[in-house]
Every structure is written in structure tokens, then in C-alpha cells.
Amino acid sequence: MTKLSSGVLTVFLGAAPGVGKTYTMLEEARRELGEGTDVVVAWVQTYGRPLTEQAASGLERIPPQMVLYRGISLEEMDLTAVLARRPQLALVDELAHTNVEGSLLQKRWQDVEAILAAGIDVWSTVNIQHIESLRDVVEQVTGVSVRESVPDSVLDSARELRLADITPEALRKRMLHGNVYPPERVEVALQSFFREGNLTALRELALLYTVQHQRAQGAPAAVPPSNDRVLILARPDHTAQGLIRRGARMGRRLSAGVTVLALGEGVDAEGTLFQAETLAADLGVDFRRCPLMATPEKLTAEIDSFGATHLVVAAPSGSRLGGRQEPLLRHLLEDLGERHLHVIGRRLGTWPVTADDPRPSPESYLEPEAGPGVKGRLRVYLGYAPGVGRTTRMLEEAGRRQRRGAEVVVAAAGGRNRPSVQLLLSNLRVVPSLPTGGIDVDGVLRQNPSVVCVDDLAISDLASHLPRHEQIQRLLEAGVNVVATLGVIYLPGFEMARERLAPFLDDLDGQASVVPDSVLDGAEEIELVDIPPAELRERVRSAWVVATREVASALAAFQEEMLEELRTAALRRVAAHTEQRLQRYITSNAIHTVWAVQERIAVALRPQRVDQARQLLRAGVGMARREDAVVVLVTVVSAHPQRAESEAIAELSKLAAAQGASLVPIPDQWGVAESLVRWADTHQVTTIIMPAPGLHRRMPWERPVALDVIRFARDTDIHIVGAKLLP
């Protein structure tokens, strides 16, 4: 895809329909309009939702174009009218939409490209399931076919990715209140696409994708290009498209060039190869065709010509290596050299989409699939810096709960000098916090509320030195639900940021202190309050965050680079909490297949090769950082280890601890390969990293352990590190 020019693209990303992408976009657009920006709605789809309709009121709309399709007149965005109007900012809802046949362009993202090329800024919306490179992951997790997609290159071109975050519990409640679907459809939706596990997995994908996009956008322009090159060896079968998606994601994280080498030819393969080539173009990767070579040696020569450092192949289907697969894999393993071999074992197919498929509406997610002493719940709004709007979000939720009949009180609220906070507080019952900064817990309990709002859990009472996050335990034990806020700078590890931003905190009494990670770990829900750092600095500049006399010094403290780091930390913290919830869901529902949302990496090494441990662990830790993954070092040990083996295990354990990892000895019950794979299946491991076999084995007929691991693995990827990269 050609590089977009002139106009700037901003995308509002959501985990699922109903999270509030369109509403957030419209509300932000109204603020832009109030500040003098020329804004028009080029296209918006409200689905009759009252709050979305209300948010769109007062904004100029471009009338839709009527397109005749199979005798029916349908509405589409009028691209010609938008270009003729030439606003500063155009709102284009539903980036993944497929236009009706007969429209000027086939896809809405192509419409957006045309608008951007005309020098017009665009705001758009998309759900995580519609990002092309993630289609296979989404289908595997949800069991729902993804009919429309947006090339990753479109998202890559966006200057900003704004996450419309909401917890699965809050979205399901929103549905129960009739804010997403008509009441008669809600129960079916909650039992199908909108199950807690689906929403949790999609939310984690959205959080991690936002982190990766932010990291890519923040990379200095002077960073030299990567020396890595990814070569995808794709066969013309059902695995081709999934393999290309996986290889493209790998290339993005390695900042490496990606090429697809299609192995196959003939009339039967032509349709599959054409689809694979089209997908490669959408993902921005090169595509080459190569006849399936008669010998592995000829294929190796072809591979060498690309200078590939990472080879990506599909694992053999079924439990046995058959046909040409074993000779090819064996040859690649023995001649890997300084390359990495990635054998992708997770399901790679996706449901086919035909030209006659209707474009999905939210109702398409409603199809059903086959298949005691109460403690209060803690919900936390997490923000990365002062001024992002944590207090406002907390009080807005308090107002919503009160309107639905809940007994709500506010025990602590900062920002009382801001008109917006004053307005929200005027409609709520307030139990004043103590003069020393603590919560008046007894006063709250006398009110007997069902919900209490507590701003800034980091504040400690000056008299008792008891922090608010400890004070709320009495409320939770009494069965009161707590809605609270917390800044990420109060978590362990952010001392420098706390020191720089402390003079500009909200006007709260008391002493701020570090909040242990266990507080967030114990929360039922964490929701991110997120705005781009550039917008936060604009709030500071306009004296919305600090007093006018403090603006200059605040701008010096609110440096964009630091804010980006804090924002990334907040995204990752919410993603980690979401992953914990997802694993509890998987365990409680006895789900045995791997849900590849967060990567879980096991670095496998035999105790006899301690000399290789450092390089292999370095590869695992590097991959974990790129993938935002969990990494552990594993080794298969004898039932009765000898002294030398025990000493080697102790040395490996020290090495793992030095890298912030841990060593897990796996008992050898079924042989090295099968014991390793069974342990990986049990512990939801997504990737096993292991060394390539040595160039010389003691017996010619001895099978490489890596080949047996590939044979046994069903849903696990195997990453083989070339022998020449290791001692």
C-alpha cells in the first residue's frame, strides 16, 4: 500500500461491538468543534443507540449516497461529497466495512485513504477482530467467523490508536441495561459471542495491540533497519493464510522484512495461491512463487538466496510426519546454521468468506453456539498521569449507578476546583473525607450504601498513616462495592515519574504512598482511562490540569516521552490483570486448548548442555519482550538424577533467576520429547524454544529430539535456534 499523505489518521479501537468506540469518537469530535475545528460526520452508524444518537447531535453530517444493489436502494458514504466539502476533520465510522457493489471503492478503508490523500484528517473506528493479522487468533478464541478485515498497514499508518476500554463485566451490564441490543436479544448475546471468556480474550488482544502500535510509533526515526529477514514457506493448502498472518506478525515485532515463498504449482493450487498472494499484499509483505522442489537441497539453495534469518513453516497435520514433511523438516533442522526455524503448531485455518456473504451487523454476534456471604467488589479506574480524567470517569459511573437505583456515596474525590467535577458531585451524596486525608469509614457505613467512590487509593491518612487501599478493606468486607481510582505512578517502580509529577497532583489532603501490586491483583475489574500524551499536554497547556501560574513548569514536567512510557506501563498492567482473569476463566471452564492471546514461552534445555543456556534464555527473554509474554526455563530430568545432573540443574536455576525467570524441572515419564510437550499442554505454553540438533549424533538412526517434539506437539509452536548461533 502506498504511503498515506497529508491527512492524519486516528483510529478508535475496541475489543467488541458496544464498547463505546463511536460514542467516544463523537464526544471527542464535539470538543474539537467547540475549539474551532471544522468537523463533519462523513459516516456514522448508531444502530439506534440513544447515547450514540445524542453524541452525534450538533455535528454536521454529509448525506449518504444511495446505491442500487439487487433491486434494493442502500445507503453508503458519499465519498465525492466528502472530498468536495473538504473539512479539516472527517469522521468515518466502521473502518472494516465493505461497500455495496457499485460504490466508487470496494472497502471503506480505501475511502479513508482517498480522504487522507486529499489532505483531510480522518477519525475512524474498528474492532480488534477486524485486524487482518489477528483474524485467525480471534476465530480460534471466539469460534465466530470474521467476515471483514482491515490490512495492518492501515493501522500502522495511523498516528494515534485510541483504545475505548471497558471491562467484560461492564460491557455485559451495559447490554443488560439495553444500551447495546434490544432487550429480547440480550440473553442470546450474553450466551454466545459476548461470553465472559470471549470478551476477556478480545480485550487483552486490544490492549497488547495498542502497546505494540504505541511502541512502533514511538521508535526514533534514526533507528537502523533490522538485519533480520523472515521467510514464510507456505504450501497451497488450508494452512497458507494463517501461516502468512503469523509470519507477518513476527516480522512486525522483529522490525524485519517478510517474504512469502509459496511452495506449489498447478491448476489445483492456483486458487489457494491467489488468495495467499492477495493476503500478502494486504499485510504489506513480498510474495514469490516457487515450484515444490524435488529435493530439500534445492529448496535450501532457494532459501539461502533470500538471506533469511527466520524460517516459518506449518507443523505437520495429524500426529505423524508424512510424505515430504519429515524429510524437509529434518533437512532444515540439520542445515539451519545461523537461522531460526519456527514450526507453527496452532490451528492456522480460518473460516472461508464468500463474495455472497452479507456484511455483518451487530446482530450477527447474537447467534447462539452449540455447544454466598457476599464480599464487596473492587473496581479501579487506572490512569497513567494526573489529568487523564480518572476522577471524572469514577463520578460518571457513580451517577449512572445512582440513576439505576443504587445507593451511592462519595467518600473521597479530588479535583474539586474543576467545574466538571463540581457538577458531578452536586448530584451525589458525599461523606467528606477526614481532614487528615483518610476515609471516614464509619461515616460511610452509617449511610449503608451499596456503592462507595474513593478517589486515589495511594493517599494515606496523616494521623493513622493508614492508606486508603487498606481502609477500603472494611468496606469490602461489609459487602459494599468500591469504585476507586489509582495512578500508575503510585505502583512500584515509578519513583522518578512520581517525583516529577508530584507537585501537580489533584488537591487531595493526606500523604501519597506506593500501592502494592497486590491491590490491583485483588480488584475484580480494572478499566484504563486513556488519552494520548499529546492531548494530555494540551490539557495542561489550557490550564485544565493545573492552575494558570503553574502551566509553564507543568509542561516541563509532563514530557511526552515520559508520558508515553507511563501509558505503555498502564496498558500492560491492565493487560496482565486481564490475562489473570482469562486464565481463571479457562481453568474454571475446563478449557484444554491453547487460547493464544498472551504468549507463554518455555525455553527447553537438557542439563547436559548448560553452555547453551545463556544464549537460549537470551532468545526467550528477547522474544518475551517483543511479544509481551511470560517466559520460563524448563528441563526434562531423570527420575533419579545423578550428582552431575543435579549440579547442572542448580546452575541453570541460578542463570534463570539472574534473568528474572524461573527453572521448572520436568520429570522424564514418557521420554524427553513427549514429557516436554505434555507439560507444555498442561501449562498453556504457546511456544517452546529449543536448540537445533548437533551436527553429529552418535548413531545415524538416532532421531533429533526436536523432530519428536514437533511430532508430539498439537497446539504449540516450536522455535528452533540454529546450531551455529549456540556454543
pLDDT score of 596: 57
Residue 120 has pLDDT above 90, yes or no: yes
Its domain, for residue 148, covers 9-217
Give the whole-angstrom CA distance, residue 306 versus residue 559: 43
Please give the average per-residue pLDDT across 104-117, as a whole number. Answer: 94
CA distance 339 to 308: 7
- Mark whether 185 and 309 lie in a shared domain: no
> CA-CA distance, 340 to 69, in Å (whole number)?
50
Question: What is the rounded distance in angstroms from the CA atom of residue 112 to the CA atom of residue 110?
Answer: 5
Considering the domain boundaries, does residue 263 fall inside one? yes
Rounded to 10 deg, the angle between the 325-334 and 296-306 helix axes is: 50
Do 421 and 383 sit in the same domain of this protein? yes
**Is the pLDDT reported for residue 698 higher than 50?**
no
Closest CA to 301 of 290, 312, 310, 316: 290
- pLDDT band, very low/low/confident/very high, at 187 (cuts 50, 70, 90): confident
Same domain, 265 and 198: no
CA distance 486 to 494: 13
Q: pLDDT band for position 319 (50/70/90)?
A: very low
d(CA 570, CA 118): 36
How far apart CA 475 and CA 473 sit, in angstroms, is: 5
Phi, psi of 265 (to 5 degrees): -160, 175
In three state form, how does the secondary structure of 429-488 look?
EECCCCCCCCCCHHHHHHHCCCEEEECCCCEECCCCCCEHHHHHHHHHHCCCEEEEEEEH
pLDDT at 368: 45
Q: Which residue has the cell 506478525?
A: 249
Express each pLDDT in 662-677 by its tens digit.
888 898 888 889 999 9
Please give the angle made by the CA atoms of 204, 599 and 319, to the nearest 5 degrees: 125
Does residue 595 register a pLDDT over 70?
A: no
Residue type at 460 in one-letter notation = S
Is 282 inside a domain boundary?
Answer: yes
Domain with 275 in it: what CATH number? 3.40.50.620
Higher-confidence position of 460 and 353: 460
406: CATH: 3.40.50.300
pLDDT score of 362 more than 70 = no
C-beta separation of 20 from 393 below 8 A = no
Q: What pLDDT does residue 353 have?
A: 53
639 — pLDDT class (breaks 50, 70, 90):
confident
Query: What is the per-residue pLDDT across 425-447, written as a single tens digit (0 to 9) for each?
Result: 999 999 998 888 889 999 999 88
Residues 282 and 423 in one domain: no
Do the strands 340-344 and 717-721 form a parallel or antiparallel pair, or are they unpaired? Answer: antiparallel
Q: Is the pLDDT higher at 356 or at 485?
A: 485
Q: Are residues 201 and 287 in the same domain?
A: no
Which one of 467-476, 595-604, 710-719 scores highest in mean pLDDT? 467-476
Task: Name the average pLDDT for the chain.
Answer: 83
When pLDDT is averaged across residues 85-97 and rounded to a whole number, the result is: 95
- C-alpha cell read off for 82: 466528502
pLDDT at residue 592, as a whole number: 55
Task: Give per-residue pLDDT as tens, 373-393.
Answer: 467 889 999 999 999 999 999
My answer on whether 402 and 495 are in the same domain is yes
How far is Cα 249 from Cα 152, in angstroms, rounded to an integer? 9
What separation in angstroms does the CA of 125 have from each of 24, 48, 279, 436? 10, 17, 22, 45
Is the pLDDT score of 222 beyond 60?
A: no
Are 604 and 691 in a shared domain? yes
The grid coordinates listed for 120 are 483531510
State residue 251's pLDDT score. 85
Last residue of a domain, one of 195, 217, 239: 217
All three cell numbers of 311: 524460517
Is residue 573, in this structure, part of any structural domain at all? Answer: no
Q: Are 237 and 189 within one domain? A: no
Residues contacting residue 238 through CB under 8 Å, at least 6 positions apart: 348, 349
Element (H, E) at 666: strand 663-667
For residues 293 and 572, what is the distance between their CA atoms, to the nearest angstrom? 45
SS3 of 571, please? helix
The percent of residues above 70 in pLDDT, for the chain, comes to: 87
Beta-ladder partners of 74: 67
SS3 call for 364: helix
- The percentage of the chain sitting over the pLDDT mark of 90, rounded to a whole number, equals 31
The vertex-286 CA angle with 282 and 291, nearest 5°, equals 115
The pTM assigned to this predicted structure is 0.73
Does residue 539 share a domain with residue 431? yes
Check whether residue 184 and residue 281 sit in a common domain: no
Positive or negative, the CA dihedral 430, 435, 439, 444 is negative
Q: Are strands 89-92 and 121-127 parallel, antiparallel or unpaired?
A: parallel
- Which residues does residue 39 pair with via DSSP β-bridges, in sequence order? 89
Q: Are 566 and 489 in contact (CB under 8 A)?
A: yes
Angle between helices 533-541 and 560-588 (to 10 degrees): 130
Compute the average pLDDT of residues 268-278: 83
Return the closest-CA partner of residue 125 out of 179, 217, 55.
Answer: 55
Identity of residue 70: R
Domain-located, residue 358: no
What pLDDT, on the 0 to 100 scale, is given for residue 325? 65
β-bridge pairing 72-76 and 65-69: antiparallel
Q: Are residues 34 and 82 in the same domain?
A: yes
| Any domain includes 30 | yes
Residue 1 is predicted with a pLDDT of 39
- Show Cβ contacts of residue 48 under 8 Å, excluding neighbours closer than 6 positions: none
Count: domains in the chain: 4
| CB contact at 8 A, 504 and 546 | yes
The helix or strand, by DSSP H or E, that contains position 289, with its residue range, turns out to be strand 286-290
Residue ending a domain, among 558, 579, 612, is 558
Q: Which position has the higher pLDDT, 491 or 693?
A: 491
Residue 82: pLDDT band with limits 50, 70, 90 = very high
Please check the confidence at residue 348 and state whether its pLDDT lies above 80. Answer: no
- Do both 203 and 294 map to the same domain? no
Q: Give pLDDT, residue 640.
A: 79
Decide if 174 contacts 181 (C-beta within 8 A): no
Instruction: Say which DSSP state 490 is in.
Output: G
Q: How confident is the model at residue 347 (pLDDT cuts 50, 70, 90)?
A: low
At which residue does the C-alpha cell 490483570 appear? Answer: 577
| pLDDT (average), residues 147-156 | 89
Q: Which three cell numbers stand for residue 77?
A: 458514504
Residue 278 lies inside a defined structural domain of this protein? yes
Predicted confidence band of residue 287 (pLDDT cuts 50, 70, 90): very high
Region 101-109 average pLDDT:
89
pLDDT of residue 88: 96
Q: pLDDT tens digits for 541-589?
A: 988 888 888 899 999 999 999 999 999 999 988 988 887 777 777 666 6
Per 3-state DSSP, the chain is made up of helix, strand and coil in percentages (nearest 5) of 45, 20, 40
Average pLDDT over residues 18-43: 92
Residue 392: the pLDDT is 93
* Closest C-alpha among 528, 520, 557 to residue 384: 528
Residue 285 domain-assigned (yes or no):
yes
Q: Which of 171, 188, 217 is the last residue of a domain?
A: 217
369 pLDDT band, cuts 50/70/90, is very low
pLDDT > 80? residue 5? no
Closest CA to 483 of 575, 411, 385, 572: 411
Contact 359, 147 (CB under 8 A): yes
Q: Which pLDDT value is given to residue 642?
A: 80
Domain assignment of residue 587, yes or no: no
Q: Indicate whether 647 pLDDT > 80.
A: yes
Per-residue model confidence (pLDDT) at position 93: 94
